[in-house]
Amino acid sequence: MNTPNEVIKIVNKLSQNKSEYKVSKTLILAVLAGAYIAFGGLLAHIVGGGSPGIAASNPGIVKFLYGATFPIGLILVAVVGAELFTGNNAYFIPSIINKKLGVSKMLKNWGLVYVGNFIGAVFVAYVITHLTHIVSASPFKDAVIGVAEGKTSHTFLVTFIKGIGANWLVCLAVWQGMAAKNTTGKIFAIWWPVMAFVTMGFEHSIANMFFVPLAIFEGADITWATFIINNLIPATLGNIVGGALFVGLPYGYLFGHDK
């Protein structure tokens, strides 16, 4: 297993490499990451949303089913390689606070990756899921709409705080993945924190780019403006705080200084 110091070295190298990608490469990898996260969301809907009987008597079990199946998305991002906005919220911070990378390069990456993630997630929501009628019948449609209505019904502050919790755990998952030295170890290291944040009901902006648009496509009484204002903006801001302030900053400060 890699030590925290060794993980920071890996993180610094990754952030340097990411900052030097061409725009086209960053966008393509970001579209792929958005699609991978969406596939995790779709699997969660099929397994968790397809279990209304269990939900009626054991709602915690259904939350766990959502959490247990969703991590395939982040596992794909980490193992095969892709650009995910939420993971990048932490990657760049150690290099920045130790003056190895400029803030402008980080912001450029974040902007490009966010747009690419949105395209990939909505593509899977509309083309791969909606047009194929995978969730067009009950109980799946009911679950799709119910999840989206729940995500857009909270106050700005609640969604913001849930965004912090989600990306705190997501970035710890990718950190643990880098600590592992083989594929099996990476999968287990990533699975646990991601399973936890989904089961606990936290808000992941990129996942929500799949969950809420899919519900809109399936006829939910939710507008795009409601999605963006009530969910996407506060979740995104919370994700940035969770990844940058609670993972990238402390670990970069504690282990990122050159000896």
Q: How far apart are CA 200 and CA 64, in angstroms?
A: 8
Q: State the pLDDT at residue 85.
A: 98
Answer yes or no: are the C-beta atoms of 70 and 195 closer than 8 Å.
yes
Q: State the pLDDT at residue 208.
A: 98
Q: State the pLDDT at residue 55.
A: 87
Spatial neighbors of 238 by CB under 8 A, at least 6 apart, are: 159, 160, 161, 162, 163, 164, 165, 166, 167, 203
Domains of the chain, first to last = 4-254 (1.20.1080.10)
Spatial neighbors of 27 by CB under 8 A, at least 6 apart, are: 112, 115, 116
Span 229-252, average pLDDT: 98
94-149 pLDDT per residue, tens: 999 999 999 999 999 999 999 999 999 999 999 999 999 999 999 999 999 999 99
pLDDT exceeds 60 at position 259 = no
Span 157-175, average pLDDT: 98
Q: Which two tokens stand for residue 192?
A: 């646990």
Query: What mean pLDDT, rounded, does the chain reach?
Result: 96
Answer yes or no: are the C-beta atoms of 84 and 33 closer than 8 Å.
yes
Please give the radius of gyration of the chain, using alpha carbons only, rounded to the nearest integer.
Answer: 18
Spatial neighbors of 239 by CB under 8 A, at least 6 apart, are: 85, 86, 89, 163, 164, 166, 167, 170, 203, 204, 205
Check residues 1 and 147 and name the one with the higher pLDDT: 147
Least-confidence region, from 47-56, 188-197, 199-208, 217-226: 47-56
Q: How far apart are CA 234 and CA 133, in angstroms?
A: 30
Residue type, 197: F
Answer yes or no: are the C-beta atoms of 163 and 250 closer than 8 Å.
no
pLDDT exceeds 70 at position 232 = yes
Span 36-44, average pLDDT: 98
CA 176 to chain centroid, in Å, comes to 15
Answer yes or no: are the C-beta atoms of 148 and 224 closer than 8 Å.
no
Cα–Cα distance list, 114 to 53, 103, 111, 159, 170 (Å): 37, 16, 5, 18, 16
Q: Which two tokens stand for residue 203?
A: 């808000």
Q: State the pLDDT at residue 258.
A: 61
Q: How far apart are CA 212 and CA 218, in angstroms?
A: 10
